[in-house]
Amino acid sequence: MKWYIWVSLTVLTFTAALLVAMQKPANAPLTITQINEWKKRSIARSGAISVPEDFLQKTIEIKTGIGEFNLSISTKSAEAQKFFNQGMAYVYNFEYVQGARSFYTALKYDTTAMIYWGLANAYDGLGDTTQARNVIAKAFALAENLTPREKMFIQLQYEVDQPAWDSVQTHQQKEKMESLMDEANFEFANDAEMWAFTGMFRFDYHSPDGETEEKASRHTIDDYLLKSQQLQYNHFGVWHILIHANEGATDFKKALEYGAMYTKAAPAIPHAWHMYAHDLMKTGRVEEAIEKFTHAFTLEQQKYKTEAMPAHYDWHHAHNMELLAYCYQYLGKYKDAERIFSELDTLTPFNPYRMGQMRKGHPYFLIHNNRLDEAIELARKLSATSQWQNRGQGYLIEGMANVFKGNVSAARSCYQKGIFIIDSIRNDDVKKGIPAATIEERSSYAYARMGMIKMGIGLLENPYDTTFVKQMDKIQSTLLRQTGPDPWIDALYFMQMLTQLSLKTGNLTLAETSANNMIKHDPNYPGTYWLLAQIKNKQGDIAKANEYLAKAKYGYSKADKELLDRLKLP
């Protein structure tokens, strides 16, 4: 499985915290390996995908505006080649449902092995690892008369789709893939598609233990993706993957450049506009991000109507809506944000275990606005589900809400339940033989998020404990490393929550430390300056307080009137 699939399945499960903990994949951050481990475990423990086979096998027409892709395969059928190319274009767009439909349509014209290879890629993207394994086995069995290049593509995918459930299998798979990738890039050194394909496996199978997301992304860019781009500059799929990789490498401006290129190459693809919006959001252009997220939403609605496709067949729909709501929240447009959050509460998730991921924004929004009982009510709906991803999300939300209520006993209970889940996942990784350094890198975000509850309890019990500054720095240093779209904006709002809590309990030193970390993460967020205005006012620095207040009002200039009316110092 490929590291970028996190976007579709991630981006992202009960909380980006547990995503990192358990990993693997909606929806990083999420390191590449974490993403893939997530995917394997989530599907194994939570059931199959929500898209029925009869829909995946439904005939599709040739489309335009989805990006140009051409990989010549062993077929005498021009129609099979066309639909294969379309299927791969959709896979590079993370449109796995339409990709599968394209490959199944291609199979009506020819049953050559490479079409099954493409179909395995689509099933991987959908998170159906069992079907992906079945399909790639068929491709492997039919590969005898293919070209060496085609055989290499199939061999790589075949090895990746084999299960590795213990330490011996994991080690063997990594060794085999590392050798196979080197062989592929040596034998096909002038093949742009081979460099792109192997680059997607680099972090899983060709990186040192414990490598950070930033370093892994940098190596993937330099050692694979740019080599592919040098050989075929106009590969729109590589542009797409370079957006994710540059985000992981914390180069949001470069990601933004590729985002603009991607929308021009694939204007009919909702995810192209969504990807562009990612980095508009991270570089202070939030109003433009709202425009792009909204355009992606409109394209999705058109697709569902044209293809007679239920929205919950599309992993991307809720993910796009969530980030759109976060952007409205960022600008102080709380009515628009809550309207979308409330709609997300009613949507059917792509998969049951993703319910917490798509519904977490609303209760966090309520906590920020001191509507704590409402937040707890929503959190308990998640913790009452059978999926541990959703329960973990629910415990985290309810725990933080109880911290703000001052209910230490209830907060501690939620913390203990959440930590039990993370510890269990960590122990699974140990049993599987995953190196300690890698486990530490994966689980740090999960423990940091749950650690906020523990720290909140400490602030309630002893608000002036000087050790809290070190604890805060440890938690927020982890939050500051988050670069994926959900984790990045989540981290900002979590730091805001910690600042609010420190301010509420009277620890102004801690509150100021936290607010300054918010500026490091994003110097444009007006909510940070409103918090600093309150902090400086309590410290008696009225001039500085008014300076920060002016910055907050400027950033919130288009906010709801109710919020603007609150931006006053006593």
Task: For 181-193, give one letter per residue: b (16+ CB within 10 A) or e.
Answer: beebbeebeebbb
Gyration radius of the chain's alpha carbons: 24
The ranges of the chain with pLDDT < 70 are 1-49
pLDDT of the residue at 2: 52
Cα–Cα distances in Å, from 4 out to 123, 197, 248, 279? 14, 11, 11, 16
Residue 568 exposure: Cα atoms within 13 Å on the Cβ side: 6
C-alpha 211: how far from its chain's center?
Answer: 19
Predicted local confidence at residue 38, as pLDDT: 33
- The CA–CA distances, whole Å, from 276 to 41, 250, 283 equal 30, 15, 11
Predicted local distance difference test score (pLDDT) of residue 505? 92
Tokens of 204: 């899983």
Q: How confident is the model at residue 9, as a pLDDT?
A: 36
The Cα–Cα gap between 468 and 501 comes to 12
Query: What is the rounded CA–CA span in Å between residue 172 and residue 206?
Result: 13
Nearest to 549 by CA among 539, 561, 560, 564: 564
Hunting for tokens 């903990």 — which residue is that? 21
User: Using CA atoms, how far apart are residues 211 and 219, in angstroms rounded to an integer?
Assistant: 10
Neighbours of 496 (CB within 10 A): 21
Q: Where are the domains of the chain?
A: 51-163
Backbone angles phi, psi at 461, to 5 degrees: -85, -35
Q: Does domain 51-163 have CATH number 3.40.50.2300?
A: no
Do the beta carbons of residue 15 and residue 364 sit within 8 Å? no
**Do residues 201 and 2 make contact, with C-beta atoms less than 8 angstroms apart?**
yes
Residues 220, 232: Cα–Cα separation, whole Å? 17
Q: How many CB atoms neighbour CB 461 within 10 A?
A: 10
Give CA–CA dist 496/483, Å, rounded.
Answer: 17
Of 385, 455, 396, 460, the closest CA to residue 422 belongs to 396
As a whole number of angstroms, the distance between CA 493 and CA 531 comes to 12
Structural contact between residues 554 and 524, judged by C-beta atoms closer than 8 angstroms: no
